[in-house]
């Protein structure tokens, strides 16, 4: 049970679905009806163009994780109307999503296509796959992934573009100036208490393969 203590500075909260709907209003029937239980051709085409997605997972203790995935268009393979596969490219080896899926197979994804305002949301159940034929079919620069996440699609639907429009996500001229923000190397040195400068830390990673994309 979530403690109320961290939220004690606020006085008024929504505590029921009825109250929530009174505030937000009820969705149009068509909004609820747009959910599909499999991939039609429009969903397939969207996923084929997607170069980036976010995948959410959880373990039985309720700890949640959201992890990004990105690759050239077509990196998510549509295997059937209800089955897709995502390659696992080299990363930081935490593999939080995989650890979660081993305990709780439920996942949720949202796919983005650069320049496209709409997104595509998907829910399903996942397995960690090491099938050689599948992995070889996902090779880039003759380097197949070591693993893939195969997902059985249970629900999929298009999401309206309002959030992307409000964020100016694809309008570079509207992006905030981020030049004063630290890069990953500076954050690693600070957060992990590494006794090196950010540049020294970056150089130390070069020879270990930690920076490899494929």
Reported as a single tens digit per residue, the pLDDT across 87-109 is 999 999 999 999 999 999 999 99
Please give the share of the chain, as a percent, with pLDDT higher than 70. 99
Encode pLDDT of 52-64 as tens digits: 999 999 988 889 9
pLDDT at 1: 60
Encode pLDDT of 163-193 as tens digits: 999 999 999 999 999 999 999 999 999 999 9
DSSP, collapsed to helix, strand or coil, labels residue 123 as strand
CA gap 27, 46 in Å, rounded? 24
In this structure, the number of other CB atoms found within 10 A of the CB of residue 53 comes to: 21
Cβ atoms of 120 and 46 closer than 8 Å? yes
CA gap 161, 117 in Å, rounded? 5
Residue in the block written with tokens 């980036």 = 52
What token pair was written down for 84?
Answer: 């897709």
Cβ atoms of 55 and 75 closer than 8 Å? no
Whole-structure pTM value: 0.92
Cβ atoms of 143 and 83 closer than 8 Å? no
Q: Is residue 117 predicted with pLDDT exceeding 90?
A: yes
Q: Is residue 2 predicted with pLDDT exceeding 80?
A: no
CATH C-level class of 33-167 = mainly beta
Which residues belong to CATH 2.30.110.10 in the chain?
A: 33-167
């Amino acid at each position: 049970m979530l403690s109320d203590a961290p939220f004690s500075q606020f006085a008024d909260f929504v505590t029921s679905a009825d109250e929530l709907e009174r505030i937000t209003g009820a969705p149009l029937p068509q909004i609820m009806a747009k959910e599909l239980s499999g991939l039609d051709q429009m969903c397939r085409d969207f996923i084929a163009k997607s170069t980036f997605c976010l995948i959410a997972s959880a373990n039985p203790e309720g700890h949640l994780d959201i992890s990004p995935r990105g690759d050239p268009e077509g990196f998510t393979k549509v295997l059937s109307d209800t089955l897709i596969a995502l390659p696992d490219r080299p990363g930081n080896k935490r593999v939080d999503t995989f650890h979660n899926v081993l305990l709780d197979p439920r996942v949720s994804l949202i796919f983005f296509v650069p320049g496209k305002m709409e997104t595509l949301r998907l829910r399903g159940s996942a397995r960690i796959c090491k099938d050689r034929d599948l992995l070889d079919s996902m090779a880039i620069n003759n380097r197949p992934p070591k693993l893939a996440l195969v997902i059985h699609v249970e629900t999929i639907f298009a999401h309206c573009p309002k959030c992307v429009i409000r964020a100016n996500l694809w309008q570079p001229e509207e992006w905030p100036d981020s030049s004063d923000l630290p890069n990953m190397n500076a954050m690693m040195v600070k957060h992990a208490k590494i006794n090196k400068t950010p540049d020294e830390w970056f150089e130390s990673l070069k020879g270990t393969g930690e920076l490899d994309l494929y």
